[in-house]
Amino acid sequence: MNLKKIKPSAIYLIAACAILAVVTVIYLVNRKPAASVAKAVQTAPSAKPALTVTISQPQAQALPIQLSANGTVAAWQEAVVGSESNGLRLAEVLVNVGDAVKNGQLLARFADEGVQADVAQARAGVNEASAQAGEATANADRVRALQGTGTFSGQQASQYLTAEQTARARVESAKAALASQLLRLKHTQVLAPDAGVISTRTATVGAVVGNGTELFRLIRQGRLEWRAEVTSAELGRLKVGTGVNITAASGANLQGRVRMVAPTVDPQTRIGLVYVDLPALSASHAGAAKPGMFARGEFALGNSQALTVPQQAVVVRDGFSYVFRLNADQRVSQIKLQIGRRAGDRVEVLEGITADAVLVASGAGFLNDGDLVKVAPVEKKASNSPLAPARQAEAATK
């Protein structure tokens, strides 16, 4: 085709049509993906929450300040009851381990036939010495009555007076011997030196024991104490009269009070002993605590304000404690905590969250950081008004 014969106006028209066609193609190409994306967005399902949870907020409350320690239960004082009779045979043992005894109660008895004979002999010696002393006194009285008449020489008078004094001394010696034999007779009976509980018995019927041999051990007044081991850095926080909650190895809980804080500390371990009085042994505390038993206790040092969260809101993972904070977009964030004391179902938070945080209470253990959750509605408490059932029935009919 000869281009020279085409008019300029036709050329312009053809160029405009070509440009319009290119623009139309570009528009259609760009419009089709946008329409498909919009259609895909319309047909895409909405995100579903991972779990339905309940929420709670931290609370400020007073928590007790406690100091924990370990220790051993021991007898407050233990009396050793021994034999004071030498070479006598045990004729009778009246108590056994665990028996509660009173002060002065008969625990055991030695055979006393030989001692009774010695007592009788000593009593006879007293009578003999008394008779001799009476005769000597009568002679001395006569000498004193006739003194100065020349009937008795000075030497004879001195002899009679000296004989009187000697006879009196013999009477005193015989009485002392009788008292010694009576004391031996008394020692044939083994008596309790104080009220308490028999903890050890080594006395055996028929045994011939020497003087000072141990027969029994007695927990005086049935009193026990807990000897707590406390570091030297903590000893200064404890004072006489501080209350202690003690858990024995048997699981029994006992209440005690600090009686004394040791004045010295072991230079090797840097640990001092704190003596805590425990309830006396009785039928109600039988088996609760025994001397030699391990026990753990907590000293009550007062109260302090603390920020607490529910125990169920705390999740332990990899050895660390976490909570899940609910955000405005209904998603949760995992927050690491530093926890402290525990009181019932509440846990103290030392670091990690503030008082205005909204936390996941139930279901926290099944969540991960960033999960979408649904908050369960708070159940309203049922009304105690007698008109409530009638109103509910009226609402149901409407």
**Element housing 366 (H / E):** none
Confidence tier at 94 by pLDDT (50, 70, 90): very high
Cα–Cα distance, 40 to 23 (Å, whole number): 26
Query: At 311, which CATH number?
Result: 2.40.420.20
Lowest mean pLDDT among 152-161, 236-245, 352-361: 152-161
Q: Would 110 be classed as within a structural domain?
A: yes
Mean pLDDT, rounded, for 8-29:
63
**Element housing 19 (H / E):** helix 8-43
Q: Residue 22 pLDDT more than 70?
A: no
The amino acid at 127: N
Confidence tier at 363 by pLDDT (50, 70, 90): confident
Residue 240 sits in the same domain as residue 174: no
Q: Residue 349 pLDDT more than 70?
A: yes
CB–CB of 63/303 below 8 Å? Answer: yes
Of 254, 259, 260, which is closest to residue 282 (Cα–Cα)?
254
Q: Would 113 be classed as within a structural domain?
A: yes
Lowest mean pLDDT among 184-193, 315-324, 371-380: 371-380
Cα–Cα distance, 225 to 223 (Å, whole number): 7
Cα–Cα distance, 56 to 59 (Å, whole number): 9
Of 248, 38, 193, 213, which is closest to residue 110 (Cα–Cα)?
213
Residue 94 sits in the same domain as residue 206: yes
Per DSSP, 152 falls in state S
Structure confidence at residue 11 (pLDDT): 64
Q: Residue 46 pLDDT more than 50?
A: yes
Residue 237 sits in the same domain as residue 334: no
Q: Tell me the C-alpha to C-alpha distance, in Å, between residue 313 and each of 230, 323, 347, 363.
A: 34, 6, 9, 8
Confidence tier at 13 by pLDDT (50, 70, 90): low
Residue 260 sits in the same domain as residue 291: yes
Q: Would 11 be classed as within a structural domain?
A: no
Last residue of a domain, one of 185, 217, 249: 217
Q: Residue 185 pLDDT more than 50?
A: yes
Q: Per the structure block, which two tokens stand in for 166?
A: 């000697």
SS in 3 state form for 272-336? EEEEEECCCCCHHHCCCCCCCCEEEEEEEEEEEEEEEEEHHHCEEECCEEEEEEECCCCEEEEEE
Structure confidence at residue 40 (pLDDT): 36
Confidence tier at 24 by pLDDT (50, 70, 90): low
Rg (CA), the chain: 51
Q: Express each pLDDT in 299-316 by its tens digit.
A: 988 888 889 999 888 999
Last residue of a domain, one of 302, 333, 348: 302
Last residue of a domain, one of 217, 246, 270: 217
Residue 252 sits in the same domain as residue 337: no
Q: What pTM did the predictor assign?
A: 0.61
Query: At 117, which CATH number?
Result: 1.10.287
Residue 95 sits in the same domain as residue 188: yes
Q: Would 78 be classed as within a structural domain?
A: no
Of 200, 217, 219, 214, which is closest to residue 75 (Cα–Cα)?
219
Q: Residue 321 pLDDT more than 80?
A: yes
Structure confidence at residue 10 (pLDDT): 60
Q: Would 72 be classed as within a structural domain?
A: no
Higher pLDDT, 33 or 330: 330
Residue 90 sits in the same domain as residue 195: yes
Of 307, 359, 361, 306, which is closest to residue 334 (Cα–Cα)?
359
Residue 89 sits in the same domain as residue 206: yes
Confidence tier at 28 by pLDDT (50, 70, 90): low
As a whole number, the mean pLDDT across the chain is: 82
Question: What backbone torsions phi and psi does residue 238 show, to the nearest 5 degrees?
Answer: -100, 140
CA 80, chain centre distance (Å): 29
Cα–Cα distance, 198 to 215 (Å, whole number): 11
Q: Residue 221 pLDDT more than 80?
A: yes
**Element housing 192 (H / E):** none
- Number of domain units in the chain: 3
Confidence tier at 30 by pLDDT (50, 70, 90): low
Cα–Cα distance, 338 to 351 (Å, whole number): 5
Q: Would 164 be classed as within a structural domain?
A: yes
Q: Which residues, in sequence order, are CB contacts of 289 under 8 Å at separation 6+? A: 73, 224, 226, 246, 248, 250, 252, 254, 278, 295
Structure confidence at residue 9 (pLDDT): 60
Structure confidence at residue 252 (pLDDT): 85
Structure confidence at residue 384 (pLDDT): 46
Confidence tier at 378 by pLDDT (50, 70, 90): low
Q: Would 394 be classed as within a structural domain?
A: no
Residue 141 sits in the same domain as residue 205: yes
Residue 188 sits in the same domain as residue 311: no
Residue 123 sits in the same domain as residue 231: no
Confidence tier at 59 by pLDDT (50, 70, 90): confident
Q: Residue 335 pLDDT more than 60?
A: yes
Q: Would 398 be classed as within a structural domain?
A: no
Confidence tier at 387 by pLDDT (50, 70, 90): very low
First to last CA, the chain: 89
Q: Express each pLDDT in 101-129 by its tens digit.
A: 999 999 999 999 999 999 999 999 999 99
Query: At 284, which CATH number?
Result: 2.40.30.170
Expressed as residue numbers, the domain containing 169 is: 85-217
CB–CB of 271/216 below 8 Å? Answer: no
Structure confidence at residue 362 (pLDDT): 86
Residue 118 sits in the same domain as residue 99: yes
Structure confidence at residue 43 (pLDDT): 38
